[in-house]
Structure 1
């Protein structure tokens, strides 16, 4: 008796079974070790490797009016209309592993028409995670800005405390072009 085996009857089902098995293993690995924000390396969130000695604000999540939140990167320009509202949902920041600090804080300031006035401010919680070598997300900004005509700048200075030394870094900002 002669048995004939075709490639369609053996190879195709075998390849299909191997692909299904590999997918199940990969799914199990992802479920067992889900990525968390604190596991993300600073370079993944657009922090420049040139600033390895500084805390980096990687980006912000903001909401304009009641639209879907959007990510805002450093030096970005956003066009808005008079009466629009802007709320900072959270900011992502990264701390290099060689950094020494015992406290960290940040506030978001809106400078109307480019005039540096510290009256319009969004406050954050007082406790910031300070684990080094990872990135963190902080939220709880309580104020919503209602925008007036003009070109405004939003700055987020990071204030680092190393012992009793207070160091302010004003390197993260973006511009709001508010038309009529």
Structure 2
């Protein structure tokens, strides 16, 4: 009787091993694919972008850090009051892509225009790859910072989308900086 039970247990173990050997690699591969695909960042930011045209990529908001203080969220057309020699860092950018939008690449750059002069010398760039699937996304790691000088400045965040070989620039997201002495 003991040998029958042993044979039954061994047969069950062999059957379970055979099933795992065939199913496990497929499950692991599926998990790898799903974890490497970018996940949409869904929050109230999509409500901000709902008012935008259906084929336009929209910047919902931006998180900035002044000096080493806590992060603060900036929305379109906001005004920040800072002082000279403050250090401004772009932290996270939330943008949304409507499902009707056709594109094959997205770039985001930040420019600081000093005293109303549009000079593209003071740019901050993110080395991240930007997800292009429909939904809202959060992107970060703008590596450089700006040391601020007195005056009225504007930070412009253009979205650059590529449709085929066409490059379309939308510079509609900006915020103003009032830098005192």
TM-score range for the pair, normalised by the shorter chain length: 0.7 to 0.9
Normalised by the length of structure 2, the TM-score is 0.75
CA distance in 1: counterparts of 2:110 and 2:158, whole angstroms:
7
Alignment counterpart, residue 124 of structure 2, candidates 122, 125, 130: 122
Q: Who is 1:88 aligned against?
A: 90
1:114 touches 1:152 (CA, 8 Å); kept in 2? Answer: yes
CA distance in 2: counterparts of 1:178 and 1:48, whole angstroms:
32
Structure 2 vs 1, CA of residues 41 and 165 (structure 1 numbering), >3 Å: closer, same or farther? farther
Runs of 4+ in 1 over 3 A off after TM superposition: 41-45
Of 77-86 and 120-129, deviating more is 120-129
Structure 2 vs 1, CA of residues 59 and 46 (structure 1 numbering), >3 Å: closer, same or farther? same
**Residue 174 in structure 1 maps to residue 175 in structure 2:** yes
Q: Where do 5+ consecutive residues of structure 1 fail to align?
A: 1-35
Q: CA deviation at 1:41?
A: 6.2
Q: Who is 1:58 aligned against?
A: 60
Q: Where do 5+ consecutive residues of structure 2 fail to align?
A: 1-37
CA distance in 2: counterparts of 1:169 and 1:41, whole angstroms:
23
2:55 touches 2:102 (CA, 8 Å); kept in 1? Answer: no
Q: Who is 1:113 aligned against?
A: 115
2:105 touches 2:161 (CA, 8 Å); kept in 1? Answer: yes
Q: Who is 2:155 aligned against?
A: 154
CA distance in 2: counterparts of 1:45 and 1:154, whole angstroms:
23
Structure 2 vs 1, CA of residues 37 and 85 (structure 1 numbering), >3 Å: closer, same or farther? farther
